[in-house]
Amino acid sequence: MGGEKVMVMSSVHGYNDSRIFHKQACSLHRAGYQVELHALADFREKELQGIRIVGLPIPKNKWVRLWGGWRLFQRAIKSKAARFHFHDPELLPWGVLLHWITRRPVIYDAHEDLPKQISTKPWIPKGWRRPLARVADWVEKGLASRLSAVITATDPIASHFTWNRHVVTVKNYPVPFEESTLAKKVSERENQIVYVGGVSYLRGYKEMIAAMDHLSPDLNAELHLIGPLQHIDPSDRVEEELRSKNVTLHGRIAFEEVGTWLTKSKVGLVCLHPIENYRESLPIKLFEYMAAGLPVVATDFPLWRQILESSGAGCTVNPLNPREIAIKIEEILRDSSLQDQLSKNGQEAHRRVYNWQVEEKKLLALYRDMTPLAGHKGGAVSRA
């Protein structure tokens, strides 16, 4: 099976997306597949870590983005790949057509719970959200049932795809950090608090910034918000005011730089708002913090509480209460022995359970189960 060509596609994600490139594509390459990744990029083509990356122009808006599906479909037909693996719900019609024409395995990778995602979109009128979510659920399930397999990021997402007979959950757990980057104990680091991910209202940027007003000045703590800025109020971007609170909005940074920030900070925040779309999610930042030895302060969702309590890696809070967030942060910053214990617990849980090596095996097993020419019906996978 070694050397078979796999075409990985996304019209939404950048080529260096953590799940798509750094985990799945790299794992497939190490397993001997010839991986070609087509995704958003500001270049035409290059090779990175043995993977051929072919850029897709970055769209100016979501409507222009839809044309990316047609371009990817054309490329796929010409590619002569043995397998196709795509990552966006908007590519589902093209995936079904691609499978029908080529009769080769086509895999849909569902990162998010699409119906729940639609029900929280601020640009969709409230009265339309629930009906649109139901329609999206039906269409997504129906189209996915015509494909070879579905990969999902969580078990609750997998429960949507009962019409497909081959569904595998491959969780978005992090790859390990280099041991050399973890040499410094968390108690020896600066009083830096970090959040990594999309910076938006529903992800709690206002409350995280407001929490800094409740921290004791003698801690001299800094808050670093790292990730793409999404619909930030202009009044919350005034540099002078942010500087007075020891807050820095970094925006998007290179993937390689994220680890540096994690391994030099003392507390990691995941204070997402209590909406349905987040309730059963497994945000990669939560597990990256644990891998980096960062004590975690997270939203008090039952699933997240269970993860943090069972691992002993952090605590949960009401994400809408900046004062409560600040109290938990201060408890950690003032107790060096607590810092080191939470850090040790998180790293141990990462090594035992929450790591990419465990999930990689599921991905590779799925690929082994599919023959290069999957002449099947109704979504079942032909086996070697």
The neighbouring-strand residues paired with 59 are: none
Q: What confidence tens digit (pLDDT) does each residue in 275-321 have?
A: 988 999 999 999 999 999 999 999 999 999 999 999 999 999 999 99
Give yes or no for residue 133 having a pLDDT over 90: no
User: Are 205 and 137 part of one and the same domain?
Assistant: no
Q: Count how many domains the chain has.
A: 2
Going from the C-alpha of 141 to that of each of 166, 167, 256, 367, the distances in angstroms are 13, 12, 36, 21
User: Are 223 and 312 part of one and the same domain?
Assistant: yes
User: Are 142 and 82 part of one and the same domain?
Assistant: yes
Laid out side by side, the sheet with 167-169 consists of 45-48, 51-56, 34-40, 5-14, 83-86, 106-110, 149-152, 167-169
Q: What is the pLDDT of residue 67?
A: 85
User: Are 58 and 70 part of one and the same domain?
Assistant: yes
- Please tell me the distance from the alpha carbon of residue 249 to that of residue 252, in angstroms, as a whole number: 9
Q: What is the pLDDT of residue 293?
A: 94
Q: What is the mean pLDDT of residues 5-14?
A: 96
Helix (H) or strand (E) holding 11: strand 5-14
For 313, the 3-state DSSP assignment is coil
Q: What is the pLDDT of residue 373?
A: 53
Q: What is the mean pLDDT of residues 222-245?
A: 92
**Backbone phi and psi for residue 34, each to the nearest 5 degrees, phi listed first:** -90, 105
- Per the structure block, which two tokens stand in for 198? 């999309």
Angle at 350 between CA 348 and CA 354, to 5 degrees: 145
User: Are 30 and 158 part of one and the same domain?
Assistant: yes
Structural domain span for residue 35? 5-173+356-369
Q: For residue 138, what pLDDT band results from cuts at 50, 70 and 90?
A: very high
The neighbouring-strand residues paired with 113 are: none
DSSP state of 89: G
User: Are 121 and 168 part of one and the same domain?
Assistant: yes
Report the percentage of the chain scoring pLDDT > 90. 78
Q: What confidence tens digit (pLDDT) does each residue in 23-49 have?
A: 999 999 999 999 999 999 999 999 999
Q: For residue 180, what pLDDT band results from cuts at 50, 70 and 90?
A: low
Q: What is the mean pLDDT of residues 19-23?
A: 96
User: Are 110 and 193 part of one and the same domain?
Assistant: no
Q: What is the pLDDT of residue 183?
A: 65
- Please tell me the distance from the alpha carbon of residue 208 to that of residue 321, in angstroms, as a whole number: 9
- Per the structure block, which two tokens stand in for 279? 């309730």
User: Are 122 and 225 part of one and the same domain?
Assistant: no
User: Are 270 and 304 part of one and the same domain?
Assistant: yes
Q: What is the mean pLDDT of residues 231-255?
A: 91
Give yes or no for residue 126 having a pLDDT over 90: no
- The answer to whether position 71 is within a domain reads yes
Going from the C-alpha of 230 to that of each of 122, 203, 249, the distances in angstroms are 12, 10, 12
Q: What is the mean pLDDT of residues 218-244?
A: 92
Q: What is the mean pLDDT of the chain?
A: 91
Alpha helices by DSSP H, 292-335: 302-311, 322-333
pTM summary value:
0.88
- Please tell me the distance from the alpha carbon of residue 85 to that of residue 149, in angstroms, as a whole number: 10
Q: What is the pLDDT of residue 49?
A: 95
User: Are 128 and 213 part of one and the same domain?
Assistant: no
User: Are 270 and 331 part of one and the same domain?
Assistant: yes
82-96, 110-124, 206-220: least confidently modelled range? 110-124
Q: What is the mean pLDDT of residues 209-223?
A: 97
